[in-house]
Homo-oligomer: A and B are copies of this chain.
Amino acid sequence: MKKKIVILPGDGIGKEVTACGKKVLEQVAECFGHQFSFDYATIGHEAIEATGTPLPDASLEKMKNCDAVLFGAVGHPKYDNDPSAKVRPEQGLLKMRKELGLYANLRPIKLFDELLGASSIKPEILKGADILFFRELTGDVYFGERGRKDEGKTAYDTMIYSRYEVERIAHKAFKAALTRGKKVTSVDKANVLESSRLWREVVQDVARQYPDVEVEHMFVDAAAMKLIQNPRGFDVVVTGNLFGDILTDEASQIAGSMGMLASASIGDTVGLYEPIHGSAHDITGKGIANPLASILSAALLLDISFGLKEESETVIKAVEKTLREGYRTRDIADATTAHEKI
C-alpha cells in the first residue's frame, strides 16, 4: 500500500511524541511491505512565530492533499496568561478542524490491564471499562459568534447547534454501538439549554432508526459523576464539543493517564489522529512525555484511514508487551506515588 502522511508536530511535547508515532509507522511500513511517505507541516505557536498565523495556508494545502494526518498538540503558556492576545495557537487547531470538516472526534477509553494500578480510581471499579466517545468537533460554543460589548465589560460566546450537525455525529455513534455493546449514552444539558433540547430531539429521532441499540439521555453534570462512579455503565457516548472536551479529559483517568489516550478526527475528507493530551510545556524537552498516546493514534490511523486492521493490532500488541515488560513513563507509574509529582 502506498500512502502519504502529513506529520503536524505543533507545540510543546507534540514534537517529541509525534516523532515516536512516526517511527512506529515507518516500522509498520517496513515489516508489512507498505510505502508510507512523510511530509511535515506547521501549526500553533511555532507557526505564529514563523509566519504570524497559527495555521498557514501551506499547512492546510498539504493536509488536503494527503491520506492521513498525525498531529501532536498546540498551545503555549504565553497566551494562556494573556487574555487579551489576539492571535492564539488554539485558533489554528479550531480552523484546521473546521476547514477539514473533521466533525467527529472518536476517543476510545480503555484501560490496559497492566495499568490497573496507575489510575486514581479503584481497580475493581475500572476493570473491564471500555468506552468509545464521539465528541462533536466543528460546532457548539467553539464556533458560535463571540465578542465583547459595554466597552469590553461584557463578553459572550454562542453555543449553537443545527439539526444536521447532530444527525451526522449521532449516526456515527449508533453505527459504532451496533459493533460493540449496543448502547448509546447521549450527554446534554436539556433541562436548561435550548441547544441541548435540539440535541436531544435529534438523537431521539436518529435512535428510532437503530431499534437494536439502547439509548440513554444523561445530563452532563450527572455524566461527569457517573463516569467516575461506574465507568462500566457506559458503552458509546455521544456529546457536543464542549461537554466532550471536559468529559474525555476526565475519562482519561479511567485509562490511567491522559498520556495513554489517542483520538481520531474524521469527517468529510482526510482523517486526523492525535493524542488527547495537550502541549504540556511543563515537561517539554525533558524526555519524560508518554509517547503511547501518539503511538496509539498511529494505530487508529492505520485502522480507520487505511483499513489496515492487522497492522493496527500489531501496534496495540506492541504497546501491551512494552507495558507488560514493566516500561513506564512517570504518568503511568503507580498512582499512589505518581500523583505527588504531577
* Residues on A facing B (Cβ under 8 Å): 75, 79-81, 83-84, 88, 90, 94, 120-122, 124-125, 141-142, 144, 146-148, 150, 153-164, 189-195, 197-201, 204, 217, 220-222, 224-230, 233, 242-243, 245-250, 252-253, 258, 278, 335-336, 339, 342
Distance in Å from the Cβ of A296 to the closest Cβ of chain B? Answer: 18
Alpha-carbon distance between A75 and B222 when the two chains are bound, in angstroms: 13
Known: A159-B141, A191-B75. A224 touches B249 (CB 8 A): yes
Determine which of B80, B90, B159 lies in contact with A159 in the assembled complex, contact meaning CB atoms within 8 Å. B159
Alpha-carbon distance between A80 and B186 when the two chains are bound, in angstroms: 13
Determine which of B88, B142, B150, B224 lies in contact with A246 in the assembled complex, contact meaning CB atoms within 8 Å. B224
On whether the beta carbons of A83 and B200 are closer than 8 Å, the reply is: yes
A163 neighbours in B (Cβ, 8 Å): 153-154
Known: A230-B120, A253-B225. A90 touches B160 (CB 8 A): no
On whether the beta carbons of B247 and A195 are closer than 8 Å, the reply is: no
A160 neighbours in B (Cβ, 8 Å): 154-157
Closest to A252 in B: B225
Alpha-carbon distance between A226 and B339 when the two chains are bound, in angstroms: 10
A339 neighbours in B (Cβ, 8 Å): 125, 229-230
A217 neighbours in B (Cβ, 8 Å): 80-81
On whether the beta carbons of A122 and B336 are closer than 8 Å, the reply is: yes
A222 neighbours in B (Cβ, 8 Å): 249, 278
Known: A154-B160, A156-B158. A90 touches B191 (CB 8 A): yes
A252 neighbours in B (Cβ, 8 Å): 225
Alpha-carbon distance between A313 and B67 when the two chains are bound, in angstroms: 65
Known: A222-B249, A245-B221. A195 touches B83 (CB 8 A): no
On whether the beta carbons of A84 and B156 are closer than 8 Å, the reply is: no
Determine which of B148, B193, B249, B335 lies in contact with A157 in the assembled complex, contact meaning CB atoms within 8 Å. B193
Known: A230-B339, A246-B246. A79 touches B120 (CB 8 A): no
Known: A141-B193, A157-B195, A335-B122. A228 touches B228 (CB 8 A): yes
Distance in Å from the Cβ of A269 to the closest Cβ of chain B? Answer: 23
On whether the beta carbons of B121 and A155 are closer than 8 Å, the reply is: no
Alpha-carbon distance between A97 and B296 when the two chains are bound, in angstroms: 46
On whether the beta carbons of B246 and A221 are closer than 8 Å, the reply is: yes
Closest to A125 in B: B120
Distance in Å from the Cβ of A2 to the closest Cβ of chain B? Answer: 38
On whether the beta carbons of A194 and B156 are closer than 8 Å, the reply is: yes
Distance in Å from the Cβ of A18 to the closest Cβ of chain B? Answer: 20
- 28 A-B pairs in the complex with CB atoms less than 8 angstroms apart: A75-B191, A80-B191, A81-B217, A83-B197, A83-B198, A90-B191, A120-B122, A120-B229, A121-B122, A122-B336, A124-B336, A125-B335, A125-B339, A142-B192, A150-B162, A155-B194, A156-B158, A156-B160, A157-B194, A157-B195, A224-B224, A224-B246, A224-B247, A224-B250, A225-B250, A225-B252, A229-B335, A246-B246
